[in-house]
Structure 1
């Protein structure tokens, strides 16, 4: 059987992008290979729709009509020129849907399914995790913050994806400026707080939060982390029913034609 052609961003190591082929392969029951955007059968995890718009509306139209499954927008985008050129199975959140002019009440970031692939193992520790956006790992403010707060466990998003997920799953609470730090923590039922992504656009964070009805109006500054009140680590996430609904929507919307038993 031919591998499923999936596009994911891989310009630099980043666990949030690296889990896309892992999750897609799990649901498809097929080998997954990286493909250039113009050759991809599917786009999944990531704020990829601005790439999709550029590739599928400018110049010579690609020969494929790929499936969009859980992707989101990075910035404002017009969706009218995309209709008929790609297939929308599911988008990440209502902000993306509104920008595209899609009327739906089903959303989901595929990262929420990572716990199906790599279940949490063992008992949760008392660790407080800090997971920066990959672009901020070498930022002087990030480095100074880490040095000043030895009580926090630094989780490097550039590490192998399975190691990052294991570290997140083992935390009591996670502070993250990485969007998928928040998503993965939600997948494992670990409480988490959005930290200032410093220079990153906020649309993707609000899109994800709105998909769950999650209160995430503004990020926490690094200076405020130390005084942040932590929730009971044994209490369920207050928006857990919405996570469950998103996970169900993701499984339900995964394109049948790309599953092993239906693929050519």
Structure 2
């Protein structure tokens, strides 16, 4: 079985959890890099573009709308649980498969020591690191910048140590919620990243109402207003030219004030009961996965 997940440039916190978390939860040598069976774990990675003949073993993934819907009834898909009810509805799966994002299972792993001296942290979506100017905005606001491209243990330590996490990155909220750090979700600058939030939130009975965060520069304002990525030649020419400089500076200060305003709002957190229930259901699914595949190999 081959561990399969999205690998971005720069690395993305939620996806990179696959490289560390499963090693603690599954037996040694569970993965052998055999591409005939793909382990589809954390992320919006239920997609149509896997090899047609490969078996796809889904463990806590979600459908994010990034690609067309795969035919999950073609006999090559095996579902243990998925991120939420929007995934089951979109793909025609049994509603009982909607448990939670697999990253909730960090609760069952050894965690790093909490980082010290963090009151409020902000984690942008990893694409906003290149497009936006969030480190400078956080510095102006007196808020800790949580970089989603850093190694997972460093990010987890910051989330554990924070009193509040404001996050554009969905896995900033998922991990904060799982580890019981209050969080505030902000509307993603690019619209394609919004569907999946509701999928996860519904699974945990969270009344999710994303907050507006002022863009940190003109490129993000372009992305927010046009629904595009903000990286095309026209956007780059308009947003990085010399005449744009004062507008970028104004955006930066508005973004910092927006972060400060959000830090005073009431945060979100799923109930202890919902989180414990989802964790238990996810671990039951993991036990079933191990019994199915380890036992099969032991008697092969």
| Aligned counterparts of 1:207 and 1:97: Cα–Cα separation in 2 | 9
Larger radius of gyration: 2
Deviation, 1:174, is 0.1
TM-score (norm 2): 0.73
Question: Which residue in 2 is equivalent to 1:23?
Answer: 21
Question: Which residue in 2 is equivalent to 1:172?
Answer: 163
Say which of 197, 201, 218 aligns to 1:205. Answer: 197
Question: Which residue in 2 is equivalent to 1:42?
Answer: 39
TM-score (norm 1): 0.83
Question: Which residue in 1 is equivalent to 2:127?
Answer: 135
Question: Which residue in 2 is equivalent to 1:68?
Answer: 58
Say which of 214, 217, 227 aligns to 2:261. Answer: 227
CA contact (8 A) 2:114 2:159 kept: no
Question: Which residue in 1 is equivalent to 2:83?
Answer: 92
CA contact (8 A) 1:206 1:217 kept: no
Higher relative contact order, chain-length normalized (CA < 8 Å, sep 6+): 1
Question: Which residue in 1 is equivalent to 2:174?
Answer: 183
1:253 aligns with 2:253: no
Q: Which runs of 5+ in 2 are unaligned?
A: 215-254
| Aligned counterparts of 1:103 and 1:32: Cα–Cα separation in 2 | 27
SS in 2 for 1:55: coil
More helix as a share of residues: 2
Please provide the CA RMSD for this pair: 2.7
Q: Which runs of 5+ in 1 are unaligned?
A: none
Say which of 108, 111, 116 aligns to 1:116. Answer: 108
SS in 1 for 2:122: strand
| Aligned counterparts of 2:32 and 2:290: Cα–Cα separation in 1 | 20
